Amino acid sequence: MTKDQKNEVIELLKEKFSQYNNFYVTNTESLTVAQISDLRRACFDKQVEMKVAKNTLIRKALESLDAEKYSDVYESLNNVTALLFSENPKEPALILSSFRKAGNVQKPELKAAFINGDVFSGDASLKALTQIKTKNELIGDVIGLLQSPAKRVLAALLHHHEKQAEGTTAAAE
């Protein structure tokens, strides 16, 4: 790979890191070509971008953006690395766990996840990442909580009104 090609890859990675607040660093070592193709297809179907690059180029791209912000990610840059970029912080975790379950394999292994400024290291955090709530899910929960008391008040008023109506018809008879 020439220096110009390396610089081109670094610029592409910098663009992706700037575009997305969430990315996963995975180990795809020992996966077959067919498995990698299946993983790429699963990512494409869920609007998750998958990029494979050399660890040194990934590190240079991260350092040129903000060396301190991404410092916890550097230790995960070893072996064969695939990056998963997504707007939804939960989607790559769901893809990885369903891919593993479907193929009954332990790879791809999660090395690190950078989600809105927080770093989750190690494969053990994959299960927790599948259970985090997205922004839209949190908004839905808040709206549900706000609607609940109002619904109870309306139900109580309707019930009271129905009882009054029953009392009026009974008195009229």
pLDDT, tens digit only, all 173 positions of the chain: 899 999 999 999 999 999 998 899 999 888 889 999 999 999 999 999 999 999 999 999 999 988 788 888 888 898 889 999 999 888 999 999 999 888 888 888 899 999 888 888 888 888 888 877 777 777 887 887 777 777 777 777 788 777 777 766 555 55
Picking from 86, 111, 108, the residue whose alpha carbon sits closest to that of residue 97 is 108
- Residue 173 has a pLDDT of 56
- pTM of this prediction exceeds 0.85: no
**Continuous segment of H or E residues that includes residue 73:** none
78-90: per-residue pLDDT in tens? 888 999 999 988 8
Rounded to the nearest integer, the mean pLDDT of the chain is 85
20 and 92 Cβ atoms separated by less than 8 Å: no
- The half-sphere exposure of 119 on its side-chain side, counting CA atoms within 13 A, is 14
Q: Phi, psi at residue 126, to the nearest 5°?
A: -60, -45
* Residues 157, 173: Cα–Cα separation, whole Å: 25
Q: Which two tokens stand for residue 155?
A: 């139900």
From residue 67, give the alpha-carbon distance in Å to each of 62, 71, 84, 120.
Answer: 6, 6, 20, 17
